[in-house]
Every structure is written in structure tokens, then in C-alpha cells.
């Protein structure tokens, strides 16, 4: 009895003795395996791609954490640092220790002139002037503003409103009124003086000095403007010019104690002890009962004692 022929397990076709499947089925099987492998490739690579993304996300989180730590560290470092030290300014040797010097605590203030007393065309201005003289500044301001509603170019009312605001401590509001008064009457020295004082009060020192210099050419005998100019120059650190202005003020009005005190302080800051002591003495002669008189006398005594050895040599 002959042996049964071998057949392909897939399609049933007869097979040679050495083959396990027909060539057609083998090719189809190989094609299916390739297709399956191709289909499986994205799935197989997906974890590999996700891993870098996860890794990148991890690094980003780590980097963010590091930045946060550095930022917080910077804040902590800044909060622990003290303010930068003041620059050391080399000064000439002085016979009096710097810590014993008198400072701006004795700085005199600008003196304000009274508003112009000329007769105005409006009764409101006259009433405002009367209220100002009586110290009723709120009522005075209302009267001046009423006058300006009737005549916005009324220079007297503009000056009165500005002066009143200065007396009320509202210098920034006073400046526009006084500037307009100067525009209306540029030759009026009182208006320009008041305008310069207002500029000084708000800290516009260069502009104030410029106005005082114009006034000095216009009214060179007004001691008040030279005193105020000296104070403004002193605040600007222009001590040499301040001394010249204050010396002019004391020459014009030897009884002006504020000018003598400002001059003494400025000379002392310039390391001119003998001249400073003389100016302090002039102030004490005029104001012997000043609350600061005992300290000033003690300071002047130290100034003169320090100068005595130098004079002996």
C-alpha cells in the first residue's frame, strides 16, 4: 500500500517530501509577518519616544525648581544686604571733629513778604487782603478766587492767592498762581520774589536761584532776596556762592539774624572756623535767648580754642 502524499497544512496542496508548506503559503506568511511587524513598529517605538518627552518634562520641572530656588535665594540675599555705604569724601583736616559740627537743623527758613497793598478794582480782592492780614487764610483764598472769576488776569488777586496758599503750606498749588502774576506784571519785584520763594519751597532750587539773581539786578538793596538766594545755593552745595550772597545780606541788614546763622553754618561747612565763629557771635548778639544759644556758645568756644595753638605758632 503506497504512502499518502503530503499536503500543505494551510491550503491543502500536495507538497514535495522536503517541504512543510507550499511556496505560495510561505510567501503569504512572510508578507503577513512583514505587515504585522510594520504595524507593530509604531507601538513598539512609542514608549521610546514617550520616554524622552517624559525626560524632557522632568528636566523642565527640575530647571524650574532651580530657577525658583535661585530667585528666592536672590531675594533672601538682597533682603539681608544693607544699603550701600555713603561714598567717603576726602576733606581737609579740621581742628573740630566733624561730629561736633552744627548742621542743617539750624537752617533758617525763607521769610515771606506781605502781599502787595495796592488798591484793587474788585472788592473781593480787598476783602481777601483783609482776611489775609487777619490770618483767616481759608476765607482769604475764597475772596481771591472770586476776584479771579471776574478777572482771570488780576495780578493782585493772583499774587494774593499764591501767597495765601504758601501760608497754608500748599506751595505746589501756589506756584501756578504766582507764575501767572509774574507773567501779567514781569516788572513787579514783589510778585517775582514770591514766585522764587514758592519755587524754593517745592525744591526747584536752580529755578529759584535764577529768579533771585534776576531780582538782585532789579532790586540790589533787598536783603531778603540775598538771604534766600544764599539758602538756596547752600542747599545746592554751592557754598562759595552762598557765602557771597549771605555776606551781602548781612551787609545790607546787619540785624538779620537768620542770615548770620546761615552764614556761620556755611563757613563752618567750608572749614573756615575763625570766620564761622565770628558769624556765630553775631547771631548770638542778635538772639542771645535762642534755645540753641548754650550749644552754639560751647561750640564757638571749641572753635576758638582750636585756633589758639595755630595763632601761637
- Which pLDDT tens digit goes with each residue over 61-118? 434 433 333 333 332 332 322 222 322 323 333 333 333 444 434 333 444 444 433 3
CB 198 within 8 A of CB 162: yes
Instruction: Label residue 2 by pLDDT band (50, 70, 90).
Output: low
Could you give the CA distance from residue 21 to residue 23 in angstroms, rounded to a whole number? 7
Listed in sequence order, the residues at least 6 apart from 57 whose beta carbon sits closer than 8 Å to its beta carbon are none
Which alpha helices (H) appear in 151-256, and where do they start and end?
155-167, 171-184, 189-201, 205-218, 223-235, 239-252
Report the alpha-carbon distance of residue 137 to residue 167 in Å, rounded. 8
Give residue-wise pLDDT tens across range 112-153: 444 433 334 456 667 888 888 888 999 999 999 999 999 999
> Which range has highest mean pLDDT (92-96, 145-149, 237-241, 302-306)?
237-241
Contacts of 199 (CB under 8 A, 6+ apart): 175, 205, 207, 208, 211
**Contact present, 250 and 282 (Cβ < 8 Å):** yes
Residue 262 pLDDT level (bands cut at 50, 70, 90): very high
The domain 105-116+123-187 is classified under which CATH number: 2.40.10.340, 1.25.40.10, 3.40.50.360, 1.10.150.20? 1.25.40.10
pLDDT in tens, 161-219: 999 999 899 999 999 999 999 999 999 998 999 999 999 999 999 999 999 999 999 99
Amino acid at each position: 500500500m503506497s504512502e499518502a502524499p503530503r499536503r500543505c497544512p494551510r491550503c491543502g496542496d500536495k507538497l514535495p517530501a522536503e517541504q512543510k508548506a507550499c511556496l505560495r503559503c510561505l510567501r503569504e506568511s512572510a508578507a503577513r509577518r512583514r505587515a504585522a511587524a510594520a504595524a507593530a513598529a509604531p507601538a513598539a517605538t512609542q514608549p521610546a519616544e514617550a520616554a524622552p518627552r517624559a525626560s524632557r518634562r522632568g528636566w523642565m520641572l527640575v530647571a524650574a525648581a532651580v530657577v525658583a530656588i535661585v530667585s528666592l535665594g536672590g531675594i533672601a540675599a538682597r533682603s539681608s544686604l544693607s544699603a550701600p555705604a555713603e561714598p567717603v569724601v576726602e576733606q581737609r583736616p579740621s581742628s573740630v571733629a566733624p561730629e561736633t559740627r552744627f548742621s542743617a537743623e539750624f537752617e533758617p527758613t525763607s521769610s515771606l513778604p506781605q502781599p502787595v497793598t495796592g488798591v484793587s478794582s474788585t472788592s473781593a480782592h480787598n476783602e481777601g487782603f483783609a482776611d489775609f492780614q487777619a490770618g483767616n487764610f481759608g476765607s482769604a483764598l475764597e475772596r481771591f478766587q472770586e476776584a479771579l472769576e471776574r478777572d482771570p488776569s488780576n495780578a493782585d488777586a493772583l499774587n494774593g492767592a499764591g501767597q495765601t496758599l504758601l501760608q497754608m503750606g500748599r506751595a505746589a498749588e501756589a506756584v501756578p498762581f504766582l507764575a501767572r502774576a509774574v507773567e501779567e506784571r514781569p516788572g513787579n519785584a514783589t510778585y517775582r520774589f514770591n514766585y522764587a520763594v514758592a519755587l524754593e519751597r517745592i525744591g526747584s532750587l536752580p529755578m529759584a536761584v535764577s529768579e533771585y539773581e534776576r531780582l538782585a539786578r532789579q532790586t540790589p538793596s533787598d536783603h531778603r532776596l540775598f538771604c534766600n538766594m544764599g539758602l538756596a545755593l547752600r542747599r545746592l552745595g554751592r557754598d562759595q556762592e552762598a557765602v557771597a550772597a549771605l555776606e551781602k545780606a548781612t551787609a545790607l541788614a546787619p540785624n538779620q539774624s537768620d542770615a548770620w546763622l546761615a552764614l556761620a553754618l556755611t563757613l563752618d561747612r567750608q572749614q573756615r572756623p575763625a570766620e564761622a565763629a565770628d558769624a556765630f557771635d553775631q547771631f548770638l548778639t542778635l538772639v542771645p535767648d535762642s534755645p540753641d544759644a548754650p550749644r552754639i556758645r560751647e561750640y564757638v568756644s571749641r572753635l576758638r580754642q582750636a585756633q589758639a595753638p595755630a595763632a601761637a605758632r
